[in-house]
Amino acid sequence: MDSCNKTRVSEFLLLGILEDKDLQPLTYGLFLSMYLVTVFGNMLIILAIFSDLRLHTPMYFFLSNLSFVDICFISTTVPKALVNIQTQNKVITYAGCITQIYFFLLFVELDNFLLTIMAYDRYVAICHPMHYTVIMNYQLCGLLVLVSWIVSVLHAVFQGLMMLQLSFGTQLEIPHYFCEPNQVVQLTCSDSFLNELVMYFTLVLLATVPLAGIFYSYSKIVSSICAISSARGKYKAFSTCASHISVVSLFYCTGLGVYLSSAANHSSQTSSTASVLYTMVTPMLNPFIYSLRNKDVKTTSIFMNTSHAIFCHSGIKHMEPRNNTHVLEFVLLGFSQDPDLQPIIYGIFLSMYLITVAGNMLIILAIISDANLHTPMYFFLSNLSFVDICFTSTTVPKMLVNIQTKRKTIQYAECITQMYFFLIFVELDNFLLAVMAYDRYVAICHPLHYTSIMSRRLCGFLVLVSWIVSVLHALLQSVMVLQLSFCTDLEIPHFFCELNQVAQLTCSDTFLNDVVMYFALVLLATVPLSGILYSYSRIVSSIRAISTAQGKYKAFSTCASHLSVVSLFYCTGLGVYLSSAASHSSQASATASVMYTVVTPMLNPFIYSLRNKDVKRALKRLLVGK
């Protein structure tokens, strides 16, 4: 960004739909109502499908995915528009704009692919009804959704990277209520020919191919329906895909209408107003179309006790097929069957647990009590210490109780709950370490702007997003486990309900669970790790540019503790999976997992207190009172 009389772009202005201030409250109320209706409606569809076993079919599996994507799609644009109206601030940061473009492209493409998959599902159901369950099996359904995600993510990443190559001038006003890719490209002072070529080529490719698939599926469906002799048979066959046809028509017609209206009027204001149809109206109407036109969805009791429906019906009472048992509890085998070793194991784990809780609690109290530590770095550290206490408390107390009472059982509900909280806190550890790496990057690479960048609002937002993503991931994995049926072998060769070990006990087809598990593992581990590696690559570059050895040492010392904790967390986690993969022994995996479930949270306070003068000083003041 060094040519064409441009400035260093840090933010854009979103002009919105209407400039008239008197109409802003009306716009705010309209957008908020549509957003809440969309989220509520699609969430009800998802809960209805999960809670009713009659809806555990490929068609409704794809519908639940579509509802989830619609929630994400509208959440990409509308909340920012609402915040801008509420605060009367039209600014969106450059990074925020690129991020919004990325997720907008991701979810609009996912909508596109899912509608195509649902058309294929209807084609198989109507044209090959006898082979439907064989063709549309769990593996294929999971694979189709996974491929849709992969292609959509790659397309969004590619478009995002292309956008990052552009330079911008002084005209940074986007005549839209969100960062619409085409509008942003029009603001550039670079040669945008390549961007426009790529944009329209991918638009044609990724829109026409799925649309062609939909047309082909329905041409075959119409042929099959025409071959049915009775009018009742024709009506019944057609009714199974009526909702899907309505949603497809709404999605493509509104999208086409936006581009035709903007092309005809050459007005950004017209384009912005028209885009409300496919960015808000379509996701809002989809649940109504499927619930009003679909008897199965209508007859599902959505307002029943949802938690009972999900936890009891999915997890326990409907585990009838394939010689499975009425699952009430699992057996945690732990480390050793030798009774003589139990007191030693009990003593070691009790000591480690008490040290972990006491050490991390001292870190939290020291940070709260010392005003000098009321900075972003120590705010994140206090959150990490709290999460480490919760992380250890999820697994160790239950194991100590089992050793003390000489009972190795854990209730089914307890096992799912333990798994849920374990996933939350291990993912939170992951995200917080990435956030702390970003904090160190800003402190070392942009020291003059540190306080303005790492504001309280941003710090709170980063922690909040970490919690939301972790909770949603844990919820997804737990709900996936709740769908599994279990056989008579209910022994878990571990000291807690580890997700992979529990999944291995099922007599259900776990292909979809495995796909979701490993895809989430790769995505939610590599993204934060990539952020950490990128941050430290920039930090190392900045430190090398410092001329004095003392300056280099001082800069490096501010992130030495964090680097030690990151190395410990990822190396122990990697060690667990490598050791279990190499030995193929559940016992070896259980023993190795102690490193990252107990040892890492225990050592974190020592690393930060021994290597950090500020923390040592605060601890001394807290304990000694000087």
Which of 552, 554, 529, 528 shows the shortest CA–CA distance to 542?
A: 552
pLDDT value at residue 586: 61
Residues with Cβ within 8 Å of 78's Cβ and at least 6 positions away in sequence, in order, are 31, 34, 35, 279, 280
Same domain, 418 and 290: no
Q: Is 263 exposed, middle or buried (0-12, 13-18, 19+ CB in 10 A)?
A: exposed
pLDDT, residue 145, reads: 92
Q: How many CB atoms lie within 10 A of CB 588?
A: 16
User: H or E element: which one contains 409?
Assistant: strand 409-411
- CB distance 528 to 438 below 8 Å: no
- Among residues 270, 304, 338, which one ends one of the domains? 304
How far CA 541 is from CA of 433, 456, 516, in Å, comes to 20, 27, 37
Q: Three-state SS for 381?
A: helix
In the numeric block, which tokens belong to residue 284? Answer: 């809002």
Which of 257, 287, 304 is where one domain is finished? 304
**Side-chain half-sphere exposure of 114, counting CA atoms within 13 A:** 27
Q: Residue 370, exposed/middle/buried by CB under 10 A (0-12, 13-18, 19+)?
A: middle
CA distance 481 to 500: 10
Instruction: Spell out the alpha helix ranges (H) of 128-230.
Output: 132-135, 138-164, 181-185, 193-227
14: helix, strand or coil? strand
Assess if residue 5 is contained within a domain: no
Backbone angles phi, psi at 408, to 5 degrees: -105, 5
* Residue 4 placed within a domain: no
In a domain, 16, yes or no: yes
One-letter amino acid for residue 297 of the chain? V
pLDDT score of 401: 86
H or E segment to which residue 11 belongs:
strand 11-14
Mean pLDDT by 10 residues, the chain (626 residues): 53 73 74 85 85 86 92 89 83 86 91 92 90 89 91 87 77 79 77 73 80 88 84 78 81 73 56 71 81 58 38 38 56 76 84 90 88 89 93 89 84 86 92 93 90 89 89 85 77 81 78 78 84 89 85 81 86 72 60 78 83 76 68
Q: Are residues 166 and 239 in the same domain?
A: yes
pLDDT for 320 equals 38
Report the candidate in 616, 372, 588 with the shortest Cα–Cα distance to residue 493.
588
In this structure, the answer to whether residues 427 and 484 fall within a common structural domain is yes
Cross-strand pairs, 91: 13
CB under 8 Å, gap of 24 or more: what pairs does 131-136 form? Answer: 136/58
Which token pair is 86?
């509420």
CA gap 603, 588 in Å, rounded: 22
Mind spelling out the 3-state secondary structure of 252-284? HHHHHHHHHHHHHHCCHHHHHHHHHHHHHHHHH
Cα–Cα distance measured from residue 295 to residue 393, given in angstroms and rounded to the nearest whole number: 46
Considering the domain architecture, whether residues 336 and 296 belong to the same structural domain is answered as no
Q: 605, 365 in Cβ contact below 8 A?
A: no
In a domain, 317, yes or no: no
Q: How far apart are CA 413 and CA 478, in angstroms?
A: 11
Q: Residue 82, SS3?
A: helix
Residue 3 domain flag:
no
Given the structure tokens 């009775």, which residue do they identify?
A: 230
Domain that holds residue 368: 329-624
Cα Rg, the chain, nearest whole Å: 27
Look at residue 33 in the predicted model and tell me its pLDDT: 83
Same domain for 434 and 292: no
In a domain, 63, yes or no: yes
The pLDDT score that the predictor gives to residue 281 is 79
Q: Same structural domain for residues 261 and 351?
A: no
Three-state secondary structure call for residue 165: coil
Regarding whether 420 and 280 lie in a shared domain, the answer is no
What was the pLDDT predicted at 547?
83
288, 337: one domain = no
Same domain, 458 and 587: yes
Q: Are 51 and 306 in contact (CB under 8 A)?
A: yes
CB 240 within 8 A of CB 234: no
Q: Residue 504 has what DSSP assignment?
A: T
Establish if 313 belongs to a structural domain: no
Shared domain for 275 and 348, answered yes or no, is no
Tell me the CATH number at 345.
1.20.1070.10
Answer whether residue 311 is part of any domain.
Answer: no
| Best CA proximity match to 418, nearest among 494, 511, 504 | 494
Residue 367 is which amino acid?
I
CA 553/CA 247 separation, integer angstroms? 61
CB atoms within 10 A of CB 111: 25
Q: Determine the pLDDT at residue 305.
A: 38
Residue where one domain finishes, among candidates 269, 304, 339: 304
Total number of domains constituting the chain: 2
pLDDT at 606: 84
CB 558 within 8 A of CB 440: yes
Collapsing DSSP to helix, strand or coil, 235 comes out as helix
What was the pLDDT predicted at 27?
Answer: 77
pLDDT on residue 118:
92
CB atoms inside a 10 Å sphere around CB 301: 11
Residues 139 and 284 in one domain: yes
Same domain, 355 and 500: yes
- The residue assigned the tokens 């079919």 is 57
Name the residue type at position 340: D
| Contact by Cβ (8 Å): 492, 331 | yes
Give yes or no for a contact between 325 and 487, defined as CB atoms under 8 angstroms apart.
yes
CA distance 530 to 537: 10
Contact 442, 377 (CB under 8 A): no
